[in-house]
Amino acid sequence: MQVSSDRYSKITYNRAGNSGVQLPLISLGCWHNFGTNESFKNMREMVAFSFNHGIVHFDLANNYGPPAGAAEINFGKIMQMDLKSYRDELLISTKAGYGMWAGPFGDWGSKKYLIASCDQSLVRLGLSYVDIFYHHRYDPKTALEETTSALAQLVHQGKALYVGLSNYPKEPLKQAVKLLREQNVPIVLGQYPYNMMDTRFEADGVKDMLDELGVGSIVFSPLAQGLLTDRYFNGIPEDSRIKKGTGFLKEERLTPKLKEQLFQLNKVAEKRGQNLAQMAVAWLVNKNVTSVLIGASKVEQIEDNLDALNHTQFTKEELRIISDILKND
């Protein structure tokens, strides 16, 4: 693997809240496109391209694949083959919180599940520690004291340097951050879905809560599972997530009204000199999040997202037009 000597001049880095962690404006998520049915050669190319353009944060989870665990295994192989000597330049995260194995201890937020899952993830990744370990979702049936004590143990044992919380509602988030800090655990990120079509992260007050707590924000699904692209302007492509059934986006979502919204948003993007996907990424950067977590199936998509960073400012008129389009539902 050829490594670019000027890779750190190609992207901006943001500090995650009040921590010492700095994330690139764009991070790479390793989910569906790192499963066993995908091209390993393509995975290596995407990781290499990302690293050579300053994208040093790679985000995984125990259940990413498919099948569950496959993404960590594949990324671990790439680490050993291409990036082993650059480990200290990388920020690698993984998570636990969704169903991983049978029985009562393979899901949610018990200490038994979280400790076991982290140990398994480290084996699959071939690492002695991850930089960030997330609880993937709030567990309303397990006391936060138990869940946070598990995260604290992982940090104190050196299996994770930092922790994060994903998909937590506002009040449990606040309580969990308090409990973690009481145990001297550095919490650096909250991870949530956020895009022009889904603004709950902002509307529910979670974004403001993270800012108040001094915790960074990394947002996923920036393109709304591919809606905020030109892929669905002329029907549903055979290689799309809808046809493959690998995402949460369903065919019935593509109503005539939604298609019209996408056409109108695309017109705004064209006037800005961007495609719709680039404007969607730029819109998020404009919201002052720490990092935008993208998924990609090929290098060209990562390059396209990086190009979005060349124009992230919006006029008041552009924001007004976008808001009017999105309200028309």
The distance from CA 246 to its chain's CA centroid, rounded to whole angstroms, is 17
Closest CA to 157 of 183, 188, 139: 183
Which two structure tokens, joined as six digits, stand for 25? 């404006």
In a domain, 318, yes or no: no
What's the rounded Cα separation, in Å, for the pair 132 and 119?
14
Other Cβ atoms less than 10 A from the Cβ of 227: the count is 24
Closest CA to 163 of 174, 175, 177: 177
In a domain, 236, yes or no: no
What's the rounded Cα separation, in Å, for the pair 251 and 243?
8
In a domain, 301, yes or no: no
Range of the domain at 199: 13-224+283-296
> Domains in the chain: how many in total?
1
In a domain, 113, yes or no: yes
In a domain, 22, yes or no: yes
- For CA atoms 29, 30, 31, 34, give the dihedral sign: positive
Interval 76-115: pLDDT, tens = 999 999 999 999 999 999 999 999 999 999 999 999 999 9
CATH number at residue 42: 3.20.20.100
Confidence (pTM)? 0.95
In a domain, 254, yes or no: no
**Residue 317 neighbours by CB under 8 Å, 6+ apart:** none
In a domain, 272, yes or no: no
Beta bridge partners of 165: 135, 190
For residue 11, pLDDT beyond 80:
yes
Helix (H) or strand (E) run with residue 77 in it: helix 70-78
Interval 259-310: pLDDT, tens = 899 999 999 999 999 999 999 999 999 999 999 999 999 999 999 999 999 9
In a domain, 67, yes or no: yes
